[in-house]
């Protein structure tokens, strides 16, 4: 599965793979996310960096909890081990120089979205590979909430929509692909992160 992800990245700069995480692991991670939400440990997500960092409702409507801000559960450790295997494979095959991973749980309530954006900052280009693992059991096309990746900056009609189905991995080169999260009709959970190069 990791080899398939790396091959897709090599061929087109992005990938979407169903079943990257097992159903049992997805369930345990979703329970972690809901526990963090229920205990008030998720905070409204901000955009920007440094002095420009702010919460902008309507642009981005999710709440997040960074993994390093909470004790790692066995499920989180298993997820991080899976991500480490992906990092090593991407470095070996694609020579990306990925050094570490910053990652958080993200919860979008029904109707929430994240408008079109890039994952890199103007003054900080360390984010190299964006990685998202979805934690939504029984997700249907009619539920919405797709990740829309724009494949051509000059032609918005050229895009790929990835369903946030539990266990699916989406990853892409952070500097290359603008993307957005479309509104869903139900709660939408994920682990979202970025492999970074050294400064």
For residue range 15-65, list pLDDT tens digits in order: 999 999 999 999 999 999 999 999 999 999 876 666 566 666 667 889 999
Q: Is residue 175, in this structure, part of any structural domain at all?
A: yes
23: left (phi over 0), alpha (psi -120 to 50) or beta: alpha
Task: Grade residue 3 by pLDDT with cuts at 50, 70 and 90.
Answer: very high
Rounded to a whole number of angstroms, the distance between the first and last alpha carbons of the chain is 30
pLDDT of residue 137: 96
133 three-state secondary structure:
strand
pLDDT of residue 125: 78
pTM equals 0.92
Mean of the per-residue pLDDT values of the chain: 92
166: which 2 tokens? 């539990």
For residue 138, what is the domain's CATH number?
2.60.120.620
Contact 95, 166 (CB under 8 A): no
Q: Is residue 143, in this structure, part of any structural domain at all?
A: yes
In degrees, rounded to 5, the angle at the alpha carbon of residue 141 between the alpha carbons of residues 128 and 42 is 55
pLDDT of residue 199: 76
Range(s) of the domain holding residue 185: 2-38+61-156+166-196
Q: Is residue 87, in this structure, part of any structural domain at all?
A: yes
pLDDT digits (tens, 9 = 90+) for 134-193: 999 999 999 999 999 999 877 878 999 999 999 999 999 999 999 999 999 999 999 999
When divided into structural domains, the chain yields a total of 1
Q: Is residue 37 classed exposed, middle or buried when 0-12, 13-18 and 19+ CB atoms within 10 A define those classes?
A: middle
Q: Is residue 140, in this structure, part of any structural domain at all?
A: yes
Closest CA to 112 of 64, 181, 38, 193: 181
Q: How far apart are CA 44 and CA 146, in angstroms?
A: 20
Q: Is residue 48, in this structure, part of any structural domain at all?
A: no
Q: Is residue 50, in this structure, part of any structural domain at all?
A: no
Q: Is residue 189 classed exposed, middle or buried when 0-12, 13-18 and 19+ CB atoms within 10 A define those classes?
A: buried
């Amino acid at each position: 599965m990791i080899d398939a992800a790396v091959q897709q990245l090599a061929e087109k700069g992005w990938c979407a793979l169903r079943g990257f995480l097992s159903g049992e692991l997805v369930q345990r991670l979703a329970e972690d996310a809901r526990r963090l939400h229920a205990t008030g440990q998720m905070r409204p997500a901000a955009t920007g960096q440094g002095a420009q960092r702010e919460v902008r409702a309507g642009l981005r409507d999710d709440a997040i909890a960074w993994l390093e801000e909470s004790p790692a559960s066995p499920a989180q450790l298993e997820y991080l081990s899976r991500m480490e295997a992906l990092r090593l494979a991407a470095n070996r095959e694609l020579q990306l120089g990925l050094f570490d991973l910053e990652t958080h749980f993200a919860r979008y309530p029904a109707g929430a979205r994240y408008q079109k954006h890039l994952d890199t900052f103007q003054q900080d280009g360390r984010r190299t590979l964006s990685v998202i693992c979805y934690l939504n059991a029984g997700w249907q096309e009619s539920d919405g909430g797709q990740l829309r990746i724009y494949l051509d900056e000059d032609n918005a009609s050229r895009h790929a929509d990835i369903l946030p189905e539990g266990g699916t991995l989406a990853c892409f080169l952070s500097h290359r692909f603008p993307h957005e999260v479309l509104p869903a009709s139900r709660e939408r959970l994920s682990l979202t992160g970025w492999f970074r190069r050294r400064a």
